[in-house]
A and B are shown apart, each in its own frame.
Chain A
């Protein structure tokens, strides 16, 4: 099974040695990685000022994945409410992740793709499955393929088996599992890392049945996910515990760092989170111990900067044919009612 792949890698490296005067190895991570691009779907499903913390949650993850290299064009950010410009916010145009106000997760350039009432169950499922209306702009599409690693992060208010979207609707765990299965069948992903930070969060991934999904949740069924602390200057619960520790962890991750997914999965022990972090590994084929965290959170491409000129041995000739012979086909109208198909009985 592995033979052709090895041959390919071998020939590639061999050729590179042949071509370059100074041989540069492609980093091993990329040699071994089986995906070609990274996407992130980050969703905050709750609105209203007292849910400030959920916006802070989702922007914390946004900040991290963006810093680790996933471009805005490959991040779908759904935020239900505008906390930064809420008139109650005593620090306008900012959203902080802790009471010391060290990190402004709102940053300078947040690109929100779905906002306000656009954040709905329908839009979310359409986004995942790619069944969007034809006039949807690129920024609102999840243009993944079979080589995409997708990070899905959800936060909001949930219960056993559902996640509430705004105040009007909810998505059930079964619906979510079906949407992911549809993605798999349509070859819209290579691997998915699913994170959810709500109450009874683990109930949301229990129904998953599609392959290559690694899922983690901030709390088990029957547990509440708790907020981390209050910022008494702003007067709200500022961030949830799980995401607070996730951000603390991700802040120390760099594009070149060697941290693995198993470290990420252990990021919030029970004494810190108070709730138990749930993990589901059975659908995921690789060992999280060996999967670098940048497989999901970063988008590190094999870019090698060289100052030397490269001799390209044979230049592929571009077919330069001119389309002169083709004349547009003449078309006529068919009769509106196919009378000619009917046998004339008279």
Chain B
């Protein structure tokens, strides 16, 4: 049925206004987003942290920790043991750890895991974790807390964790006879950093590949159909093995990285896999209890012992802290073992001990700080665990999505999302204005084609006014006529203007290329290892480079496939609209999960998406845009970033060697992102290849094609 009111009435003015102001509006949105984001660092625009969870009761108990001597003794014994027997091996002192935990009367278990390296010649790595469970004396083992320390051999280039292990053992010894534990405590020492942690978590949650699942227990009746996809099967890489002893569902975890008891301050690390964060309550808890135990603490550029008098300084520090957090989140790589817990719905943070001469840099006035000792660290740990012990449910009250501007200031998702939405909004406005332009052009053509149609409509309207029944009948007739006309028009349009099939095919092809690139590293690494005898990072990097170059050359021709004639203006505009919509959707979706990555992607690609348009002839500006587009290729961005970064890190090097270092770093980064995506489930590489690359290909196509 036709509408009585004219839907065009009133919106015409809106369309005119939109057409006129859309480009300055997009620019304003972009600037607004950036300004909004930087304002968030100011005290007026962010909030004080607070506890949402009543049950935590932080710091209400008197500390009873008395394991200082025990910790010192454990520390000395461990160092002695390592120097005596593990000087030139990377193995973990499993017998020593098992013996110590048994002496404390914990339930001690070891856990073996195997990694089949997915790329290259198929190396196999093995590792062992040791863990002891303290059973809650007066309740069933339904819930658990985890205290974990990664083991690092003496030869490791990272800071050791011996003091962390000693502190953990001393705390276990102190906690064992206490009768107030309402949750089990699992004391865990993992090998091979995050690999051991991931294996232990998978085994704990029953994700081992060879365990008897429902289907495998069916025996010969069930045949796995996954044969063809074995090389993408993530479970083949890491075999987590099985755990001999379990406890209940894990509520929270604390990871310790202390190389010596005499640290100056504690850095609280929160960023996890794929930029996931622990609940803000846990982060607050740790900061607050550090204060209570008299330990200096920091987060990125925010140092609790430095107080800014000047609000400008506070703002600058807040922005740097936010940027520091975002740079850690972008790659989606956890910066500590805590980051792997988040995926399993377990809140976890890492406490890293830092000295004045830490590689992370010396904060202001660090030399004036008094160093901590085992007693203070122990009391802090005790209060944290007693507070966690009070929990009645999982952490759920406070924020899961936030940015920290200081140790005690935060920005919630509601405050930072507008910034991202403005960026995506700019793209959507551009898409809308393009759509309106197409409609207008079509209308004009239609108007010229059938003037008699308009007259008919006028007659219809008049008859409606005259009499209801007759009007209804006539209107039905009119509708039929309208439909016929629309159909004819559609036929004409299909032959003349828009071919949905070819647009769709091009679109589909671009994404197919993306998913091909996602799976290509296996091929490159295989070829590189077998025929060229190159390490896999080199072969993968150059393989991807060649593929990118190939795409740059051939992608403009993809538009000419599946069609007889060159694409016209309407088709290209529709492709442009789809590109804008996909880009903004990508930005919002990624930003919902990982705001840092989402903002970064949007900030880089919004200008590109706004610059891309349909051009009649090649001018200088088009070549300029093509240059920008090439610079924004994901691989180019990565390489350039790494080169700049290495230049900043090592300013004394000559330019060529810095560039070479940057290239090597880019190779490593790509390799890590691929391996992370296979072993841990990091989706950065997958998003970059399956969504970002196709979007880039389409923009490149649009920039390379001109319409007649």
B386 touches A235 (CB 8 A): yes
Cα A49 to Cα B390 with chains together (Å) = 7
Asked whether B54 is an interface residue with its Cβ less than 8 Å from the other chain, the reply is yes
Interface string of A211-235 (1 = CB under 8 A from B): 0000000000000000000101111
Tell me whether chain B's interface is mostly helix, strand or loop, or mixed.
loop
Given contacts A48-B55, A235-B60, contact A87 B390 (CB under 8 A): no
B180 touches A87 (CB 8 A): yes
B62 touches A88 (CB 8 A): no
Asked whether A50 is an interface residue with its Cβ less than 8 Å from the other chain, the reply is yes
Interface string of A270-304 (1 = CB under 8 A from B): 00000000000000000000000000000000000
Given contacts A50-B390, A87-B136, A92-B138, contact A233 B182 (CB under 8 A): no
User: Which residue on A lies nearest to B181, using beta carbons?
Assistant: A87
Asked whether B179 is an interface residue with its Cβ less than 8 Å from the other chain, the reply is yes
A232 touches B179 (CB 8 A): no
Cα A86 to Cα B182 with chains together (Å) = 8
Given contacts A48-B55, A49-B390, contact A233 B62 (CB under 8 A): yes
Asked whether A112 is an interface residue with its Cβ less than 8 Å from the other chain, the reply is no
User: Which residue on A lies nearest to B178, using beta carbons?
Assistant: A90
- Provide the residues of chain A in CB contact with B179, threshold 8 Å: 90, 92
B180 touches A50 (CB 8 A): no
B60 touches A49 (CB 8 A): no
B61 touches A89 (CB 8 A): no
Asked whether A236 is an interface residue with its Cβ less than 8 Å from the other chain, the reply is yes
A60-87 with Cβ < 8 A to chain B: 85-87
B172-216 with Cβ < 8 A to chain A: 178-182
A85-141 with Cβ < 8 A to chain B: 85-90, 92
Shortest C-beta distance, B54 to chain A (Å), equals 5
- Provide the residues of chain B in CB contact with A92, threshold 8 Å: 138, 179
A48 touches B60 (CB 8 A): no
Asked whether B699 is an interface residue with its Cβ less than 8 Å from the other chain, the reply is no
Cα A236 to Cα B139 with chains together (Å) = 19
CB-contact partner of A87 in B55, B60, B61, B138, under 8 A:
B138
Q: Which of B60, B136, B138 counts the most A-chain CB atoms under 10 A from its CB?
A: B60
User: Which residue on A lies nearest to B56, using beta carbons?
Assistant: A50
CB-contact partner of A233 in B54, B57, B61, B181, under 8 A:
B61
A48 touches B392 (CB 8 A): yes
Shortest C-beta distance, B396 to chain A (Å), equals 13
CB-contact partner of B60 in A85, A89, A90, A236, under 8 A:
A236
- Provide the residues of chain A in CB contact with B138, threshold 8 Å: 85, 87, 92
CB-contact partner of B54 in A50, A85, A230, under 8 A:
A50
B182 touches A236 (CB 8 A): no
B84-100 with Cβ < 8 A to chain A: none
A87 touches B57 (CB 8 A): no
- Provide the residues of chain B in CB contact with A90, threshold 8 Å: 178-180
User: Which residue on A lies nearest to B138, using beta carbons?
Assistant: A87
Asked whether B321 is an interface residue with its Cβ less than 8 Å from the other chain, the reply is no
A49 touches B392 (CB 8 A): yes
Cα A234 to Cα B61 with chains together (Å) = 7
Asked whether B255 is an interface residue with its Cβ less than 8 Å from the other chain, the reply is no
Asked whether B626 is an interface residue with its Cβ less than 8 Å from the other chain, the reply is no
User: Which residue on B lies nearest to A86, using beta carbons?
Assistant: B182
- Provide the residues of chain B in CB contact with A237, threshold 8 Å: 60
Shortest C-beta distance, A156 to chain B (Å), equals 14
User: Which residue on B lies nearest to A233, using beta carbons?
Assistant: B62
Shortest C-beta distance, B137 to chain A (Å), equals 8
B61 touches A88 (CB 8 A): no
A50 touches B57 (CB 8 A): yes
- Provide the residues of chain A in CB contact with B389, threshold 8 Å: 88
CB-contact partner of B61 in A48, A85, A86, A235, under 8 A:
A235
A232 touches B55 (CB 8 A): no
Cα A235 to Cα B136 with chains together (Å) = 18
B139 touches A87 (CB 8 A): yes
Given contacts A48-B55, A50-B55, A235-B390, contact A88 B182 (CB under 8 A): yes
A232 touches B62 (CB 8 A): yes
Q: Which of B61, B181, B182, B386 counts the most A-chain CB atoms under 10 A from its CB?
A: B61
Q: Which of A85, A86, A234, A235 counts the most B-chain CB atoms under 10 A from its CB?
A: A235
Shortest C-beta distance, B383 to chain A (Å), equals 10
CB-contact partner of A235 in B57, B137, B139, under 8 A:
B57
- Provide the residues of chain A in CB contact with B136, threshold 8 Å: 87
Q: Which of B54, B62, B180 counts the most A-chain CB atoms under 10 A from its CB?
A: B180
B61 touches A232 (CB 8 A): yes
B57 touches A236 (CB 8 A): yes
Cα A50 to Cα B182 with chains together (Å) = 13
Shortest C-beta distance, A98 to chain B (Å), equals 15
Interface string of A235-251 (1 = CB under 8 A from B): 11100000000000000
Cα A294 to Cα B181 with chains together (Å) = 43
User: Which residue on B lies nearest to A47, using beta carbons?
Assistant: B392
Shortest C-beta distance, B636 to chain A (Å), equals 55
- Provide the residues of chain B in CB contact with A49, threshold 8 Å: 55, 182, 390, 392
User: Which residue on B lies nearest to A52, using beta carbons?
Assistant: B57
Shortest C-beta distance, A230 to chain B (Å), equals 5
Shortest C-beta distance, A346 to chain B (Å), equals 60
B180 touches A89 (CB 8 A): yes
Cα A236 to Cα B182 with chains together (Å) = 15
- Provide the residues of chain B in CB contact with A235, threshold 8 Å: 57, 60-61, 386, 390
Cα A235 to Cα B61 with chains together (Å) = 4
Cα A92 to Cα B55 with chains together (Å) = 19
- Provide the residues of chain A in CB contact with B139, threshold 8 Å: 87
- Provide the residues of chain B in CB contact with A236, threshold 8 Å: 57, 60
- Provide the residues of chain B in CB contact with A88, threshold 8 Å: 180, 182, 389-390
Given contacts A49-B55, A88-B182, contact A230 B60 (CB under 8 A): yes
Cα A232 to Cα B62 with chains together (Å) = 5
User: Which residue on A lies nearest to B139, using beta carbons?
Assistant: A87
- Provide the residues of chain B in CB contact with A234, threshold 8 Å: 61
Cα A86 to Cα B55 with chains together (Å) = 14
Cα A104 to Cα B386 with chains together (Å) = 23
- Provide the residues of chain A in CB contact with B386, threshold 8 Å: 235
B364-415 with Cβ < 8 A to chain A: 386, 389-390, 392
Cα A236 to Cα B58 with chains together (Å) = 10
- Provide the residues of chain B in CB contact with A230, threshold 8 Å: 60
- Provide the residues of chain A in CB contact with B61, threshold 8 Å: 232-235
Cα A234 to Cα B392 with chains together (Å) = 17
Cα A241 to Cα B136 with chains together (Å) = 33
Shortest C-beta distance, B609 to chain A (Å), equals 49
User: Which residue on A lies nearest to B391, using beta carbons?
Assistant: A49
Cα A236 to Cα B137 with chains together (Å) = 20
Cα A86 to Cα B389 with chains together (Å) = 12
Interface string of B130-143 (1 = CB under 8 A from A): 00000011110000
Cα A85 to Cα B62 with chains together (Å) = 21
Add 14 more A-B contacts to A50-B57, A90-B178 (CB < 8 A). Answer: A48-B55, A49-B55, A49-B182, A50-B55, A87-B181, A88-B389, A89-B180, A90-B179, A90-B180, A230-B60, A232-B60, A233-B61, A235-B57, A235-B61
B residues sitting closer than 8 Å to A (CB atoms) are 54-55, 57, 60-62, 136-139, 178-182, 386, 389-390, 392
Q: Can you report 15 A-B residue pairs in the complex whose CB atoms are below 8 A from each other?
A: A49-B392, A50-B54, A87-B138, A87-B139, A87-B181, A87-B182, A88-B390, A89-B180, A90-B178, A92-B138, A92-B179, A232-B62, A235-B60, A235-B61, A236-B60
A residues sitting closer than 8 Å to B (CB atoms) are 48-50, 85-90, 92, 230, 232-237
A-B CB proximity, top 8 nearest = A235-B61, A87-B138, A87-B139, A87-B182, A232-B62, A90-B180, A235-B60, A88-B182
